[in-house]
Structure 1
Amino acid sequence: MYYNHLSRKERYQIFVLLQAGKNKKEIAQLLNRHPSTISREIERNSKPNQAYQAHDAVTLAKKRRKNSGNGKPIESSVWRQVEK
């Protein structure tokens, strides 16, 4: 499945559009994104009892990306065993 992560610019646009009173569906249309993408972004990057903040969202996204690990490389000795 192919997708693009939200950019820093898009996160700031979401923040401004929320402040302007736009709902998630309207924001999605303006950014040419799926409404669920916007909804997940707001849920994932909002602190409890606080409104969505673009700066915090960018910081949290960077942390998640850094800590994702995307799996560790498999050693060649293990690959040899698998191939046998």
Structure 2
Amino acid sequence: MNYTHLTQIERYQIYALRKAGQTQRQIASLLKRSESTISRELRRNTGGRGYRPKQAHKKSEERRAINARRIDEDVWEFA
């Protein structure tokens, strides 16, 4: 299975298409992404002020940095 993270450009496209009244299904089709990917992106990153692509991308970068941390050798020795 191939999986790629959404790019910042795709996030701005999602924003513009939502503003234009497109449905999640239409957005997924246009971006050639799974409907669940679009749904998950909007659910994770829509707040009181709506979907904000710049903030969404920043949050995704922060999540990626946290998940990318390596386990210390001390922890491996403990296990």
Instruction: Output the CA distance in 1 between the equivalents of 2:24 and 2:73.
Output: 41
Determine which structure has greater relative contact order: mean sequence separation of CA pairs < 8 Å that are 6+ residues apart, divided by chain length: 2
Tell me, which stretches of 5 or more residues in structure 1 are unaligned?
Answer: none
Instruction: Output the CA distance in 1 between the equivalents of 2:4 and 2:10.
Output: 11
What is aligned with 1:58?
57
Bigger strand fraction: 2
User: Which structure's CA Rg is the greater one?
Assistant: 1
TM-score normalized with structure 1 length: 0.79
Runs of 4+ in 1 over 4 A off after TM superposition: none
Tell me, which stretches of 5 or more residues in structure 2 are unaligned?
Answer: none
What is aligned with 2:38?
38
**Counterpart of 1:28 in structure 2: which amino acid?**
A
Aligned residue pair count: 77
Identity %: 38
The RMSD of aligned alpha carbons is 2.0
What is aligned with 2:9?
9
TM-score normalized with structure 2 length: 0.83
Moved more, 57-66 or 30-39: 57-66
Equivalent residue of 2:3, what SS?
A: coil
